Structure 1
Amino acid sequence: MSKRVKKTNVPKQPQEPEDWCFECKDGGNVVVCDHGNCGKVYHPHCIDQDESLSEVKTWVCGWHYCITCRDLAKYYCLGCANGSLCDKCIDDSKLTVIKRRKGLCSVCSELVLIIEQKLEQDSEGNKLSMNDRETYECLFKEYWEIVKGKEKLTGSDVLAALDNSKKDKSFLFESDSSEDEKEKEELISSDSDKGRTYKRKTIRRKKSKGKERKPSSSRGRSVLKKGHFCVKPRYHASVNAKNINLIYLKESLVQELSKEPESFTNKVVGAFVRVKMDPKDTKQKNSHQLVKVIGVLNDETSNGILFQVSNRANAIPISKISNNDFTADECMELQQKVKSGLLPKLTVEEVQEKAILLHEDVTKHRIATRLVSLQNLIDRANIRGRYQEKIDLLNEREELSQKSKQEELLRKMPSISAELLEDSYGSPIEDTDSDSQ
């Protein structure tokens, strides 16, 4: 009788960190996910973080959590961190299986299809620059070739899987319960793996000079727009200045919007305005407060418009709305109100829809306001003899006055930063801009 050999579990070696940011596919100074078998790296700004993220002792990236419910992910997109899903959410997904529990989300599927078929245009007829290394498409193509080699995939395998997904919408994944348990154990144990020091690892390939690379001719389309890789509709949106600014209305803009009564209510309800606090209220430390517009009333007595706003019993006239920018302290106060439950949380979908609806009006208003402000600053610099300052202001005014620049700003659709949550396994994912919970 042969003697049974006891099987021992050999610890899995940590994955060597990748060379390219998993979001933008470019090089540079990045932080590495501390999950033992991940190896994904990110620029802090690509995941709406600042450089302080590199000082966090343990950080696990979003690839390991369901994009919908934040539970432990079991299915992953090979091209981005926004296709990870759990058992409960996989049925509602558009994730195409490629290999076991790994596949491609709808966004990455389109890009991979273009790459593997060597197409020069996307499904909407937009010309793509797949060999221009200043574009996201080209960087994704280079990253995808690395992934194929790592996963031992061929182009024909991938095309067959993508073609099959169009015919059969029930994408079945092979699931291994023992692998699931290992994944969970590794995720939990990563919190104690504090000896790794991959902080701000310098990538071997040099980062391109100048601005972050952007999609080329398909610029502005949701399928390639950088901001859309970072968030999903069911996330809660961060209550930060960046997001609130997208749906913030000054008094002068509200007056302009009121000239189009058929669209007025739809545009202003859900937006934020700034109102003055009661000076007799000594408990308030700020002179103004950010409030959300929740309704519009027609005031028959004065033939005017009244806004119903959050945290105010009485409706307010448009004339009581501030025509200045809100302050950091006022935004922080709004964060605290949401965190304490005095105001409902905002979803990414809610803010995105409102931001897109207001984008043209807000952008045109800001351009016009800035041009007036620049002229005032130029006059002031001229009087004070500050000639270099005057030249800089004149250059800015000239650039902003150009039709091409204004069209560029109008094409640049808003992207929403999502609230990053502390994961359920104890690993801190810090968000310095949002009200983390």
Structure 2
Amino acid sequence: MLASSKDNTDSIMKRKGQIMNFELSTPEEVSERYKRCFASLVCDNIKLIYLKRTLVIDLLKQPDTFECKVTGCFVRVKNDLKGYSHHKPQKLYQLGQVTGINKSSEEYKIRDISTNILLCISNMWSDVKISVLSDEDFEEEECEDLRMLSQKEPSKRQTVAEFEEKVRSVHGDILSHWINKELLRLDRLIEMANEKGWRDEYPYQIEFF
């Protein structure tokens, strides 16, 4: 009986240890499974890796890292409504994910930069020039359209782990770009306020000039 009791105790302790080990490993296993899931295509997520035209132009100045940074990010493309003979797009802008880059046989100019880089965009028939990207925020409706299109090719969607890695790679660039744009906007507001104050103080001189 004593031996039997000891065996039972050992069995219980062994079982308890197995349960404790299972419970300790569960959060890590859940985390690994979670990271293999597809990242949700909601507006807040897309904003984290959304590149405006002027930011893409800035990244173009870093040729060694350009392709790596833009691939996997989202951009807003202006549709060529006149260029389609069939199945004309109904909307002026469309969200898409950059899947890679190609090079055109001819260069084109964006601001003060000449380039032959074309972007490969998901759900678009042809590669696009950087010059046709939007420099504005996207709309909720465009995000919904992207979700609908992504359901047709779920295998091309990013996993949570891939999405998190992409966020880390472009977060500094997106933040720096936003700060620079805000500083320019504030400079314009200050300039307008100063000009308005000058006009209020010298109205007759303005009329004279």
Q: TM-score, normalised by structure 1?
A: 0.35
Unaligned runs of 5+ in 1: 1-95, 108-228, 386-437
Q: How many residues align?
A: 168
Corresponding position of 1:263: 65
Say if 2:113 is the partner of 1:301. Answer: no
User: Would you say the 8 A contact 1:236–1:348 is kept in 2?
Assistant: yes
Q: Tell me the distance in 2 between the aligned counterparts of 1:311 and 1:305.
A: 19
Amino acid in structure 2 at the alignment position of 1:275: V
1:99 paired with 2:99, answer: no
| Distance change in 2, residues 1:301/1:345 (3 Å) | closer
**For 1:301, what is the secondary structure of its paired residue?**
strand
Deviation of 1:301 (Å)? 2.0
Aligned to 2:144: 332
Displacement of 1:279 after TM fit? 2.6
- Consecutive unaligned residues of structure 2, counting only runs of 5 or more, are 1-16, 108-114, 198-209
Match of 2:122 among 310, 315, 319: 310
Larger relative contact order (C-alpha < 8 A, sep ≥ 6)? 2
Greater C-alpha Rg: 2
* Aligned pairs for 1:337-416 within 5 A: 337-341=149-153, 344-379=156-191
Q: Distance in 2 between matches of 1:98 and 1:383?
A: 73
State how far apart, in whole Å, the 1-side matches of 2:20 and 2:99 are: 48
In the alignment, is the contact (CA less than 8 A) between 2:52 and 2:75 conserved in 1?
yes
Alignment CA distance shift 1:324-1:350 (3 Å) = same
The structure with the greater share of residues assigned to strand is 2
Q: Percent identity between the aligned chains?
A: 36
CA distance in 1 between partners of 2:102 and 2:156 (Å): 22
> Is the 8 Å Cα contact of residues 39 and 158 (structure 2) preserved in structure 1?
yes
Residue pairs, 1:199-348, within 5 angstroms? 232-280=34-82, 284-302=89-107, 303-341=115-153, 344-348=156-160
The whole-number CA distance in structure 1 between the counterparts of 2:142 and 2:185 is 23
Partners of 2:56 and 2:130 within 8 A in 1: yes
Q: Secondary structure at 2:65's aligned position in 1?
A: helix
Structure 2 CA distance for aligned equivalents of residues 383 and 238 of structure 1: 47
- Cα deviation digits, residues 271-324 of structure 1 (max 9, x gap): 111111233578644320011111212224225211111122221111111111
In 2, Cα distance between equivalents of 1:343 and 1:233: 15
